[in-house]
Structure 1
Amino acid sequence: MILSRYERMIARRYLLPGKGEAFILVVAAFSLGAVMLGVFALVVVMSVMNGFRAELFDKIVGLNGHAVVQGFGGQLPDWRNIVTIARATPGVTSATPLIEQPLMASFNGRVEGVLLRGMQVKDIRDNPTINTNVVMGSLASITPGSGRIAIGSGLADALGAQVGSQVSLIIPQGQTTPFGTMPRIVSYTVGAIFKIGVYDYDKAYVMIPMEDAQTALLMGDSVGMVEIQTNNPDNVGPILAPLAEKVGDRAVISDWRQLNAQLFEALAVERVVMFCVLSLIILVAAFNIASSLIMLVRAKTRDIAILRTMGATRGGMMRIFMTVGTTIGVLGIVLGLILAFIALYFRQRVVDFVQVISGQNLWDPSIRFLAELPSKTNPVEVIAIVLISLLLTFLATLYPSFKAASTDPVQVLRYE
């Protein structure tokens, strides 16, 4: 929209109404503030929800893979063959054998439910989700036959255990007696403590060499499952289809979407709902811009008539008022983006400050899975928010601009 010199001058003057028109200025300021808050809320909420999903996905997939091959009956005796077939499948980047078994752990009279995970030592040390989050001890001390394990920080806090503590695992597989199967109690030394950042994992996981897990659970040379990583988690189904055909007679494959379907579907629905609800703020701001422009047109009716008699065209008048309304919207969008990026940068400090002021725990990891408030800004979404805001602002200027352009100078100046 190209404006002539006099149109730009008049638009600048109308952006700051004169004396006696303070109410119009107040309404315009509220309109700008509404656009700013709408853009701010949309960018912050969508970034936090994107960050929550991405962080949760990375943590879950980092430990559980994109898919798992589970044997019928809970065991895979020929797991080496399955690992070889999986690694030869196009699109598969890794195949890791592992054992998972829910057990009970005790230390100094405290008892907690745990999830024992047996992995090959190389896989434990090479897993970035684990090796980059060790807070105490060292994974180098976790070797087969050493009697050492790695536990989550939440579990360590619940048990009161530290590196070097002797933690006992209560294993239901034991000696059969006339009174039933007697559970066994096996003691292990804590060699490392890790903090992944997902509350459920930090509170329950116990990492142990696979050989020690096989011995403790009386599994012989079997494993519980094979964890699969692919080069495209969103295309995991087609990638693993050939593998499913080859192992379908002895195992079943479950991918991350099936294992966490309810969680990620709920997040997807919530993102759409929040976007639609928060977009209403910008829609209300657009109505405010329309209202302020209508009042400005009524207040400037005499000026419009004089301009028309001096040769101003209908198109020129439309451009002037469309520029005024669009400028308010653009300023609101820019301020909203600046405020949003500042809030996202200091998001955890803001949460901590509000918690101190209110005395409430706003981010309880036991409820929200993650230890800290995440954030991941999607440039495409930010551009979409900006375009939607600009579109609504532009549409809000059409009716007032048309009314200004259709002003009849003869009727207005008849009694002047």
Structure 2
Amino acid sequence: MSTEFFIARRYLLAKRKGLFAMITTFIGVAGVALGVAALIVTLAIMDGFQTDIKGKIIDAQAHITIYGRMQPRDLETVRAVLERDGRLAAESPFVLGQGILTFDGRSVGAVVKGFEPAAEAGVNNLSKSLVRGSWDELAKPAPGAPPALVLGEELAKSLGAWPGDEVVLVSPQGAATAGTGLLPKMRKFRVVGLVRTGYFEFDNTMAYCSRAAAGDFFGFPGGANGVGVRLKDIDDAPAAAAGLRKTLGFAFNIKTYADMNQTLFAALKLEKFVMSLVLALIILVATFNIASNLLMMSVEKLRDIGILRAMGAGPAFIRRVFFWEGNLIALTGITIGVLLGVGISVFLAVYPVLELPSDIYYITKVPVDLKLSNILATAAVSYLLCMLSAVYPALRASRVSPVDAIRYG
């Protein structure tokens, strides 16, 4: 144990002159602890929301999507390119189009995606999001019945249509007729199921049918206007997409799941940064308490400083004493804060004490994703701020004249 550490510990643990001095020390430690704990919990919750939203998006979307008009021959070419890439896990061609669904006097805009259920199940987890009905009816429609259609749950609520009802899909890209101009294309579909992905944008706009039905309706018979790709490792998405752009050329528009949700992910990152910045101010305020506490101690222990200087202790020795005091306060507060923050985060993850309205947030409990990197970063930044707060008090104490300190101390 160094002499500087021994003196610093004695100064902090010894009885102080006046209750106010002891309170300021406690406030300094408590402020650092609460700031660190609040920042760790907030980062865990923000990362939890981001992970939850990302998971819902990946469940409903492919890792990479290739857009472009593809006749059957073009589709085979794209498939051949994908099969040569060892990072590929599965692919699913689809037909995507926009239209208006009408039922019982109500009309709602929708995005219709046609695919083969067996192939789509290998690309995303949409099949697990079915809350009513069956995907089998898309692949094997009942004889003589209209094509099957699965609706997003929120879309079904807006339309008022449920499994068993027949809806009409209207496309503005109709056929021109003599005398009447452009006649919208219309086709009747039978609702056979409901999907709830947990991501409102999908559940409120998407409708799903077979690729054959969508191809006939939107003008892609036997072909597609997109291919969804699932990778063995989602982290390979940017590199794999860049390789496909180079191989397939400009005829196709290739996007990763992050490209298609760039605005959302950017907003989440900005929100996390702002929240972290606001909560970091708590720690900054606590460092001012540490600085004021050390300044008060330098005045209170003025005579002791003078005696130490008279005994041969140099300015560097005095500085180290006060740095150790700031260090002890910082480490105590950070340790308590880390334990408190991790404890609260684990408690929220295990016990859903904070229930959220599922109709608004699509989740029933606060999501928590506790990351070691966030804990270490919070502790490191907090420690740096605390040590910076000890610089001025340490310099001020080290510049005291030994004679004046003993005379006026």
User: Shift of the alpha carbon at 1:292?
Assistant: 0.8
**Matching of residue 188 in structure 1 with residue 184 in structure 2:** no
User: Shift of the alpha carbon at 1:238?
Assistant: 4.2
1:9-408 matches, cutoff 5 A: 10-16=7-13, 18=15, 20-71=17-68, 74-77=69-72, 78-146=74-142, 147-162=147-162, 164-172=163-171, 177-178=177-178, 179=180, 180-191=182-193, 193-231=194-232, 236-248=237-249, 250-306=251-307, 317-344=318-345, 345-346=347-348, 352=355, 364-365=360-361, 373-408=366-401
Give the TM-score of the pair, scaled to structure 2: 0.81
Cα gap change, 1:124 to 1:258, in 2 (>3 Å): closer
Name the aligned partner's letter for residue 400 of structure 1: P
User: Shift of the alpha carbon at 1:63?
Assistant: 3.0
Please provide the CA RMSD for this pair.
3.6
1:14-64 per-residue CA deviation (whole Å, 9 max, x = no partner) reads 335636422122222332233223323432333333334333333334433
Cα gap change, 1:280 to 1:374, in 2 (>3 Å): same
User: Shift of the alpha carbon at 1:150?
Assistant: 2.9
Cα gap change, 1:343 to 1:395, in 2 (>3 Å): same
Cα gap change, 1:220 to 1:142, in 2 (>3 Å): closer
User: Shift of the alpha carbon at 1:270?
Assistant: 4.7
Name the aligned partner's letter for residue 239 of structure 1: A
User: Shift of the alpha carbon at 1:201?
Assistant: 0.8
1:358-398 per-residue CA deviation (whole Å, 9 max, x = no partner) reads xxx9x944xxx988754433322321221111122123223
d(CA) in 2 for partners of 1:36 and 1:249? 55
Aligned to 1:412: 405
Q: Say whether the 8 Å CA contact 2:41–2:344 is kept in structure 1.
A: yes
d(CA) in 2 for partners of 1:227 and 1:158? 28
Paired residue secondary structure (2:125): helix
Identity of aligned residues (%): 27
Query: Larger deviation: 386-395 or 340-349?
Result: 340-349
Paired residue secondary structure (1:65): coil
Q: Say whether the 8 Å CA contact 2:16–2:22 is kept in structure 1.
A: no
d(CA) in 1 for partners of 2:164 and 2:365? 28
Name the aligned partner's letter for residue 228 of structure 1: V
User: Shift of the alpha carbon at 1:272?
Assistant: 4.4
User: Shift of the alpha carbon at 1:188?
Assistant: 1.1
Cα gap change, 1:249 to 1:135, in 2 (>3 Å): closer
Structure 1 alignment gaps of length 5 or more: 356-360
Count of residue correspondences: 399
Name the aligned partner's letter for residue 81 of structure 1: T
User: Shift of the alpha carbon at 1:206?
Assistant: 1.8
1:285-337 per-residue CA deviation (whole Å, 9 max, x = no partner) reads 22221111111121122344456667877666544433332222223223333
d(CA) in 1 for partners of 2:128 and 2:324? 53
Paired residue secondary structure (2:390): helix
